[in-house]
Chain A
Amino acid sequence: MTSLQRQKIAFALLFLANLLVIVPVGLIVFIIIQKGWPAMTWQFITDIPRQGMRAGGIFPAIVGTIYLVSGAIVFALPVGLLAAIYLSEYAKDNLLTRIIKLAIVNLAGVPSVVYGLFGLVLFVSFCKFGASILSGSLTLGIMILPIIITASREALESVPHVFREVSLSLGASKWQTIRHIVLPNAIPGIITGTILGIGRAAGETAPILFTVAAFYLPRLPSSVFDQVMALPYHLYVISTQVPNVDPKITYGTALVLLILVLFVNLIAIIIRARFRKKKKW
């Protein structure tokens, strides 16, 4: 066998490996759309679950997820953005910065269920927030912090150094430079990172298991100290804990969750693509 023939075989095998990943992804999305689509009625989206979650809709779960994700962003975006500004504009190349970077990597790697435990002791018991939107949002917020920090930092660091130098040479202070020159140029990247964080927070189940998620609660929350249903947990419940649920309803719930997460990701991709085209430097 010549080396060129060997190359052909190797490349074919590598291509095959890709098919092994891509084809199932396509199939999964296709199956969920195909089996979940018949459930997608206006009533399914806007009604409360009925007959022990075997009929009716998933409205409270959708609302719950939106509340939780909003709460997580309200907490994680300011902290994450300021942390990113520190790393890109202030941090020197020293041990402290190395430790911060390592901590971010570790925070990103902590298993999601451990976040659940942490939220349970710190927010539910220690801070006495109880199982509530507040506890769940804060737990999710800490979980997506590394995503927001990393994306924002990349966006800030990609603003050319000249911009800062010109601003400083014109007499602006360091903070004025960051506020009026660096931040506006980094906004698309920051938004992209935030949106990816939203997508992650919307789909996670383990961190909200013990901090907020209600098994069955067919009404909307009235304060941040209320429990809520959440889409991912609802899907878990109706597919494993409740017997004899019409597959149409489970697939329908999976489809709504999938659409929500993919829609959010799509927005991030579009913003990123537009920004790349407009980039002036």
Chain B
Amino acid sequence: MRKIKEFIIEKLIFFCGLASIFFVILIFLFLLKEGLSLLTIVGPFEFLAGKSWYPISEPPQLGILPLILGSLFVTIGAAIISVPIGIACAVYIAEIAPAKIKEVLKAGIELLAAIPSVVLGFIGMMTLVPWVKNLFDIPTGLTAFSGSIMLAFMAMPTIVSIAEDALYSVPKSYKEGALALGATHWQTIYRVILPAASSGIVAAVMLGIGRVIGETMAVMMITGNAAAIPKSILQPVRTLTATIAAEMGETVVGSEHYFALFAIGIVLFVISFAINVTSDFFLHKDQRV
């Protein structure tokens, strides 16, 4: 009797162990099931490179180039801001900060990670957006630039915590060797420790960017939601994620627009999959050293 019970429990454990694989496949299949129906209406090239997104005109125009560019503008802006600052934070926390300051900084960054994105979006609308509007004297502060700043901020916990881990995993002997040869602490950091941790830092940056591309609520509240091809970073844009969130509520199930939103979901899923697999590769490369 006990043997049967344990057999069942162990089988259950095994199936739950497979649950993550099951769900990843399930998500992909269901996105495909709805999204691929679009191919009968719009070709893949037309969809990805089409210059106009007018999903409710007659006939609907379903080109997501403006949305891809919107996501790209916001993401590049966020990366330019968050990568240097994030790595600098990680280096300071891992290598330089005295114990007490380190605790405060880590708590602050954990606090930032815990704040829901809709709260950050709201506070961005109330503070950052008017500030950007006044600073550049433009008609609206709801721009790609405001989105970039906010997203850079939101990517920070991911970048800092993973880069910090990478810095910690550099063997102590490297550092001691460099210091013993007469290098200053700073020379040791940027000539020895940073290069040794580089693949972990690359992974940190990639995962941070993944976070930025997938972020939805804050970006929808701050970037102004104009589905036109942006010419400058000081214009309103609409990202891939915001398009799904803003429009899914108004579509008819089974319409072309509905399928198109799922096709955008496929694009997002594939991007995040690629980012996660590559960054995982970089993280494991680091562990083998």
**A and B pair up:** yes
Interface-centre pick from B156, B207, B216 (highest chain A CB count, 10 A): B216
| Residues of the B chain whose Cβ atoms lie less than 8 Å from the Cβ of A203 | 114-119
State whether B21 touches A114 (Cβ < 8 A): no
Chain B interface extent, by class: 35 or more
Q: Count contacts between A and B, CB distance < 8 Å.
A: 250
The winner among A21, A99, A100 for most chain B CB atoms within 10 A is: A21
The 8 Å CB contact of B214, one of A20, A22, A112, is: A112
A3 at the interface (CB under 8 A from B): yes
Q: Which of B42-50, B56-64, B227-235, B273-281 contacts A (4 or more CB under 8 A)?
A: B273-281
Q: Are B85 and A17 in contact (CB under 8 A)?
A: yes
In the complex, the answer to whether A90 meets B114 with C-beta atoms within 8 Å is no
User: Does B38 interact with chain A (Cβ within 8 Å)?
Assistant: no
Assess the A105–B280 pair: CB atoms within 8 A: yes
If A25-B111, A31-B123 touch, does A109 touch B105 (CB 8 Å cutoff)?
A: no
A239-B17 in contact given A21-B108, A106-B272, A121-B30 (Cβ < 8 Å): no
Q: A235 vs B93: C-alpha distance in the bound complex, in angstroms?
A: 34
A contact residues, range: 35 or more
Q: How far is the CB of B218 from chain A (nearest CB, A)?
A: 10
> Using a CB-CB cutoff of 8 Å, which residues 227-261 of chain A contact chain B?
232-233, 235-236, 239-240, 247, 250, 254, 257-258, 261
Known contacts A107-B24, A114-B268, A116-B245: A21-B153 contact under CB 8 Å: yes
- B23 on interface, CB distance cutoff 8 Å: yes
Given contacts A21-B112, A28-B123, A239-B221, contact A100 B249 (CB under 8 A): no
Q: List 20 A-B contacts (CB under 8 A).
A: A10-B190, A14-B88, A18-B92, A18-B93, A18-B105, A21-B108, A22-B105, A31-B127, A82-B12, A100-B20, A113-B245, A113-B268, A115-B27, A117-B248, A118-B26, A203-B115, A205-B117, A205-B118, A236-B217, A262-B114
Q: Which residues of A contact B (CB under 8 A)?
A: 3-4, 6-7, 10-11, 13-15, 17-18, 20-22, 24-26, 28-29, 31-32, 78-80, 82-83, 85-87, 90-91, 99-100, 102-118, 120-122, 125-126, 142, 145-146, 149, 173-175, 199, 202-206, 209-210, 232-233, 235-236, 239-240, 247, 250, 254, 257-258, 261-262, 265, 269
Q: Give me the 9 closest cross-chain CB pairs, A-B, nearest first.
A: A203-B116, A111-B214, A86-B17, A82-B16, A17-B88, A7-B186, A14-B92, A103-B20, A206-B216
Q: Which residues of B contact A (CB under 8 A)?
A: 2, 6, 9-10, 12-14, 16-21, 23-24, 26-27, 30-31, 33-34, 84-85, 88-89, 91-93, 96-97, 104-105, 108-112, 114-123, 125-127, 153, 156, 160, 184-187, 190, 207, 210, 213-217, 221, 241, 244-245, 248-249, 253, 261-262, 265, 268-269, 272-273, 275-277, 280
